[in-house]
Amino acid sequence: YFYAWQSWYHVFRAGNTLRSRGLDKPIWLNETGVPAWNDYPGPVWDPHSGLRATTQEQAHYTIQTAFYALYAGADAIFYFQLYDGCGNQPQGTNFPPHNGELCDANGNLASNPSFPCAGDANGLFTNPTDAACFTQHPNPESPRPNLAAYQVLTHYVRDVVPYWRSRPGGPDPANGPQEWIAFYQPATRQRIIGMWARFGGSQTAVLPATAGSATLIYPDGTTQTILPANGVYTLQLPGATNQNAPWDPTLYPIGGRPLIIIEADPNAVGAP
């Protein structure tokens, strides 16, 4: 949850543990997600709310966590979740949209301190009006930006195998300010590359081309055809914005807006 890179870490660790014991089993990342603070039932008045993100950062996380997990060897990923559940708050927690005026000093409802005054907006959709909690969203059952990001993954990033990974943009190619994760899709003989800025500064990615054009995909599903100039694609990566880690306010647990590039790659024939 929350820290996208940890999806790679936990899947990688699980794979190593299995191999060390001579086991070969599918690895599922059973839950991954991050709640939004700036949409009901989140604490919309608190941009520094720990372990939360904006709805746009939530969408960026959706793509980044999947790329990390798949590259580490995950066979399946369960995205948490379809609607806003009551897992971290008691069933029956409910309140109208507000800007903190309904809270007491302890973060509970002033009218009923047995219940919190905010919840976790995890869902791809906001709750329906008959849910077990958080039933008062002004637009019930409406999609959040993470739904489009999820659909980008399920449409484009299928039946892929890890290809390569790089962190360019700095003096250490293994630990630069950009994250590039590439997969090969044998059925289409294409490479699929996800890239984003790891830290707060914007980055310029210079990607060597393997074909005469590529498809560029944004987290909202928008696509465009791009052409290389002098054999490279030059792409702008906005800086990361989330610093909601309570243990380290300098950390960027979610990278900047990711881009996905899909391109024919004749050099990848026979890739693992």
Segment 116-134, tens digit of pLDDT: 999 999 999 999 999 999 9
Cβ neighbours of 250 (radius 10 Å): 8
Written out in words, the top-level CATH class of the domain with range 159-268 is mainly beta
pTM score > 0.85 for this model? Answer: yes
Residue with tokens 């979610």: 254
Place of tokens 């966590």: 65
Beta strand pairing status for 28-32 and 108-109? unpaired
pLDDT band for 149, please (50, 70, 90 cuts): very high
Structure tokens at 255: 């990278």
Q: 3-class DSSP state for residue 11?
A: helix
Q: What pLDDT score was predicted for residue 85?
A: 87
- pLDDT reading at 270 higher than 60: no
CA 54 to CA 146: how far, in whole Å? Answer: 10
Q: Over the chain, what is the mean pLDDT?
A: 96
Q: 86-90, 161-165, 180-184, 251-255: lowest mean pLDDT where? A: 86-90
Helices (DSSP H) in the chain: which residue ranges? 5-20, 55-72, 145-156
Domain boundaries in the chain? 5-149, 159-268
